[in-house]
Structure 1
Amino acid sequence: MKKIFILLSGFFFFNAIQAQQNFTLEQATQFALVNHTNMKLAQADVQDAEGQLLEYRSTGMPTLNGSVRYEYNPDIAVFILPDFIGPAVDGKLLDYNLIDENQIPPLSNAGFPAQFGTANNFVASLDLNALLFDGSFFVGLKAQRLYREMVANDVQVTAQDVKLNVKKAFLAILITERNNEILDRNLVNLDKTLSETKAIYENGFAEKLDVDRLQLSFNNLKVQKDKVERLLEVNYNLLKFHMGYPIQDPISIEGNLDDLMTDLDIEAVIPTDFSVQSRPEYASLELGEELARINIRRFQVGYLPSLYGFGRYAKQLQRNDLFDNTENPWFTASTVGLNLSVPIFDGFSKKAKIQRARVTLEQTLIQKKTFEQSVKLEVVNARTQFLNAREGVENTKESLDLAENIYETTQIKYREGVGSSVEVSQAEREFYTAQSNYTNALYDLLIAKTDLDKALGKL
């Protein structure tokens, strides 16, 4: 629950920044933790699990129901009673010698019509039922609480994925903006060189081929810049999606690759030890294991008897004239009791359920073991990728410095008339390639750092 509180605190953080359209990486992440649909669904699952717990708990609470019943009988039912009065009277008369046997009339099959009941019947009652002991209920209640905890932990798993996607989308924008800035600088420099070469050509000191080569390079850079700008729009839309931000609304970000590289402590990101318990997925698996064990116990205690208590209190009124208080008073009826249910034979239903629950536990243990191995492999691979990316940054930075030096030297030689345009074009292509390689290497390093953080459970 503490982790959920931390996530919900992002809501208040969001209120402080919702009016703005400019986001840092941290602000974008906090916005996503509140607004992304997956986070909303995960929080809804927590609320549903809480509702399931309350619903299940209510089945073990005492229930009290009241009822009021009124009956009006326009025609009271008639019952035929056998003639038990005549023979009794004749018997007494005969005993006292008031008549002789010849004077006793023969028995008749005809009975006497009689009515039982009143025209108005009114009953008000209270019924109480209470669970006194049911082992399955109490074990099931523990399982419901554990399930709620597992669903709450799943919020952390969802948050981890949301953070990962937001950060990668954010980095994609930074790399695209960096490439766009590089293209802008290259276009300015190349346009200057093209103008100078055109002037030299007009003065007869350069060939038309030199101008055409530079013009071709300039046109290619413009095409590449158009592609990068369209890619930048795509990446912004991707970030909006992962943030849960309206696609149609404008947005901008703060930060650049250099700032992130400055904050990156190369030595600190490669820990000497690692515990799989730092991963939120592992906590869910552990809770799943405990839940599977409790489920077995729940079916086992189903063999125990269950005891329920009940009680009833009622007031009854029977009158021909409902409002005649002199006719009949209110009568009281009350009942209390116990109901003991002892399971004797259920067709091996519980046995089958216990067997299936044990299979579920075994599957959970296998999943847990598999996850442990996969995380260890993920950490090893992420470390390797990070080390490779770090080495790649160092190598591409060295290559970039060399390519830039060569490019500047060839331009100087060309302006002084001791170099060729072919050398300039070749040095230019190598310089552009080195720029792209270095920028991509920075991006790869930050992505590798992000994947390593995810593997280590540090997102």
Structure 2
Amino acid sequence: MVLLASFHVVVKGQETGSLNYKLSLKAAIDYALTHQTDVLNAVVDEEMARNKVKETVGIGLPQVSASYNFQDFLKLPTTLLPGEFSNPPSDTPIPVKFGTKFNSTAGIELSQLIFDGSYIVGLQASKTYKELSVRNSRRTRIETATAVTKAYYSVLVIAEQLDLIDANLTQLSKSLNDTEALFKNGFAEKIDVDRLQVLKNNLETERENVTRLLELNINMLKFQMGMPIQAELTLTDQIKDIRAEQVALAVADTTAYKGRIEYALLETQQKLNELDFKRQKSTFLPTLRGFASASKNFQSDEFSRHFDNRFPTSVIGFTLSWNLINGGQRIYQMRNAKLTIKKTENDMLNLKNGIAQEVSANQKLYLNSKRSVENQERNLALAKEILRVTRIKYEQGVGSSLEVTTAETSLKEAQNNYIKALYDLLITKVDLDKAAGRINY
């Protein structure tokens, strides 16, 4: 399968110039996985998640802070002392000024988290959050690969339609020339020429529309790949090679969910829910922090001698905090966290069933599309044969121009039906691969 190839950061397509590419589907997907904006942003999200883990780890590492405080007392504060302290004692309070004009304090403090249940659970949750970002990134790559594949197939189908129109136009032009020659020689009527001319005009108009549609789809493919729109892009894969690929069809695939990134994301989300439940339980435990600090206080009345008088202080200790009663809030928060786990379990069960149904439905759609293409191929071959015989009969004078016109119209209708069936087949093939979890990047 083209879609089973592993991810490579180097595009293995033939690049003939800075803005001229010849790419297979595999190379187009690889190009998208290194240039598409959503993929690039997903890589950034992964890096942000790694930084978030390191940030969480840092909460439990030693925290060191330094400070310096300087004060210039323009007026020293006054304190009233009881008059009993005066000599002789008095009933009137005595105003006294304490301190020095210049005061400053320099200190450093170290703190360390010793125990916090929420922090321990937070470490586990941060690693799971990183896992979630990685899986989200993988989902983005799968969605990008799917979108590029469908756009690539769409271009191939329209190119095939254009080839059929060109072949039909060549045959129709020959019939028109032959009929004009017969008309000039008196063996055909003017209405025979006019009918074929109308068909040719309509087919030329259709060719112009399909040509523009092909350009639009090529630009859409470039957009899905993250390629500049002004770049020249040529596709190297062929529809016949893609159709020749074998598609695995299981009678009842009940394990497809294991390969689906959506289920893996739910599993990771369930881990986060379980960790949130543990975090809620941990809030019943106390928190213990240790600290140590050292400082020096400088005092003087003269700024030039400010640092001569220093008074050191140092202290170590710990803080134990324990929220004993909070009105029952933690109990209900814990219950809701447990209910969230139950909801995710239900979602996982529903997703399993949904994926099984999706695989079964896409298998049937693929088989129907495959049969439809085979039928339309037979109809197309039959329409070509009818047109060939009708032309021969007309040239030999045993058939009418109306029969030729009808055969030309039937061929065009058969071609359109074949193109639609072919497009449906390729798209259902991609949908089946995605549903079965076979698109992995």
The verdict on a shared fold, with TM-score over 0.5 as the criterion, is yes
The corresponding residue for 1:270 is: 249
AA in 1 matched with 2:70: Y
Q: How many Å separate the matches in 2 of 1:401 and 1:164? A: 32
Task: Provide the rounded CA distance (Å) in 1 between the counterparts of 2:135 and 2:77.
Answer: 66
Aligned match of 1:104? none
1:229 aligns with 2:211: yes
2:290 aligned with 1:309, yes or no? yes
1:270 counterpart SS class: coil
Using the size of structure 1 for normalisation, the TM-score is 0.87
C-alpha separation between the residues in 2 aligned to 1:318 and 1:111? 27
Distance 2:183 2:163 in 1: 30
Question: Greater CA deviation, 418-427 or 178-187?
Answer: 418-427
Deviations 1:148-170 (A, max 9, x none): 21121011112221111111111
Q: Does the 8 Å contact 1:83/1:112 carry over to 2?
A: no
Corresponding residue of 2:3? none
The CA deviation string for residues 307-352 of structure 1, in whole angstroms up to 9 with x for no partner, is: 0111110122222234449x95422210111111122101112112
Alpha carbons 2:387, 2:404 under 8 Å: kept: yes
2:117 counterpart residue number: 135
Distance in structure 2 (CA, Å) of the matches to 1:119 and 1:44: 55
Per-residue displacement from partner, 1:6-58 (whole Å, max 9, x unpaired)?
Answer: 76x52x43899564333322222122222223223323332333333333333
**In structure 2, distance between residues paired with 1:374 and 1:324:** 81
Sequence identity of aligned pairs in percent? 34
Partner Cα separation in structure 2 for residue 371 and residue 29 of structure 1: 27
Paired position in structure 2 for 1:64 = 64
Q: Which has the larger radius of gyration?
A: 1
Aligned to 1:192: 174
Q: Secondary structure at the match of 1:71?
A: strand
The answer for the alignment partner of 2:35 in structure 1 is 35
- Residue in 1 aligned with 2:55? 55
TM-fit CA distance, 1:204: 0.8
Does residue 24 of structure 1 match 2:24?
A: yes
- Mind listing any 5+ residue stretches in structure 1 that lack a counterpart? 1-5, 88-106
Is 1:421–2:422 an aligned residue pair?
A: no
Structure 2: gaps spanning 5 or more residues: 1-5
Amino acid at match of 1:190: L
* C-alpha separation in 1, matches of 2:168 and 2:198: 14
Instruction: Assess if the C-alpha contact under 8 Å between 1:269 and 1:449 holds in 2.
Output: no
User: Contact conserved, 2:256 with 2:435, CA < 8 A, in 1?
Assistant: no
Which residue pairs with 1:84 in the alignment?
Answer: 85
Q: SS where residue 58 of structure 1 aligns?
A: helix
List per-residue Cα deviations over 1:402-446 (Å, max 9, x = no partner): 222222122122222222222222222222222333333332222
Answer with 26-35 or 155-164: which moved more. Answer: 26-35
1:98-117 map, 5 Å: 107-110=89-92, 112-117=94-99
SS across alignment from 1:13: coil
RMSD: 2.3
SS in 2 for 1:304: coil
**TM alignment of 1:117-266, pairs within 5 A:** 117-262=99-244, 264-265=245-246
**More deviation, 229-238/375-384:** 229-238
Q: Secondary structure at the match of 2:197?
A: helix
Once residues 169 and 73 of structure 1 are traced to their aligned partners in structure 2, the CA distance between those partners, rounded to angstroms, is 77
In 2, the alpha carbon distance for the partners of 1:194 and 1:279 equals 56
The total of aligned residue pairs comes to 429
1:262-310 alpha-carbon deviations (Å, 9 max, x no partner): 3x12xx4224654311001110001111111111110001101110111
CA contact (8 A) 1:154 1:281 kept: no
Q: How far apart, in 2, do the equivalents of 1:340 and 1:241 lie?
A: 58
**Out of 364, 368, 376, which is 2:348 matched to?**
368
After TM superposition, the structure 1 stretch with the greater mean CA deviation from structure 2, 414-423 or 173-182, is: 414-423
Residue 202 of structure 1 and its aligned partner are, at CA, apart by 0.7
Q: Structure 1's 403 and 134: CA in aligned 2 closer, same or farther, altered over 3 A?
A: same
Aligned position for 1:294: 275
SS at match of 1:123: strand
Residue 21 of structure 1 aligns to a residue in which SS? strand
Please give the alpha-carbon distance, in whole angstroms, between the structure 2 residues aligned to 1:15 and 1:401.
35
